[in-house]
Amino acid sequence: MTTIKAGVLSDTHLYRADDAFIRLASQCFAECEVIIHAGDLTSIEVLDAFAGKQVYAVHGNMCDANSFLSLPSETSFPLGRFTIGLTHGAGLGRDIELQLWTLFPETDCMIFGHTHHPVCHRQGGVLFINPGTFRSTGPHGAPGTYAILEADTELRAAIHLVPAGS
């Protein structure tokens, strides 16, 4: 069975895919045929960095008007034989993971963003992923993070640090 690799990111907070972002995204997601963006792109133009890849994305609370109109607030889609639920998570309250069960009761994996804190764990047989924020939160803040999700006979995911100096 072929393994499908998906790059998962969130909270890029960019108005366009500049050269630095394109280089970094190409480096982090070189082996991924699928990209999953959990919102707060700011501008939908950020997705231009992923030309040639299958892209699933939702808007977040910090997106511009065009992103709000072009992207859903939540969606679900197949990844191999698994069903993935995707939302940004803004407006779901303090316990986002608990609220995700209501949004996506029949999924194998729930992906969200918003908090800028990476999460990767299983609960009740369901994989929960928050890739964190792709961009560092500043010189003294947390480094940027993303996730790689693999699907074949099972779903596997891991959080990765964005390379230093990005």
Q: Where are the domains of the chain?
A: 4-161
Reported as a single tens digit per residue, the pLDDT across 36-48 is 999 999 999 999 9
Q: Where are the alpha helices (DSSP H) in 18-128?
A: 19-28, 65-70, 96-103
Residue 15 clears pLDDT 80, i.e. is over it: yes
Out of 3.30.70.100, 3.10.20.30, 3.20.20.70, 3.60.21.10, select the CATH number for domain 4-161. Answer: 3.60.21.10
pTM of the full predicted structure? 0.94
Note whether 6 and 26 are within 8 A (CB): no
Q: pLDDT at residue 92 above 80?
A: no
H helical segments located in the chain? 19-28, 65-70, 96-103
82-87 sheet: strands from edge to edge: 74-79, 82-87, 109-111, 126-130, 119-123
Contacts of 29 (CB under 8 A, 6+ apart): 7, 35, 50, 53, 146
Q: Tell which residue, 24, 84, 33, has the closest CA to residue 58.
A: 84
Residue 137: pLDDT over 80? no
**Which residue has better confidence, 142 or 37?**
37
Structure tokens at 57: 């994305």
Q: Residue 164 has what pLDDT?
A: 77
The whole-number pLDDT of residue 141 equals: 60
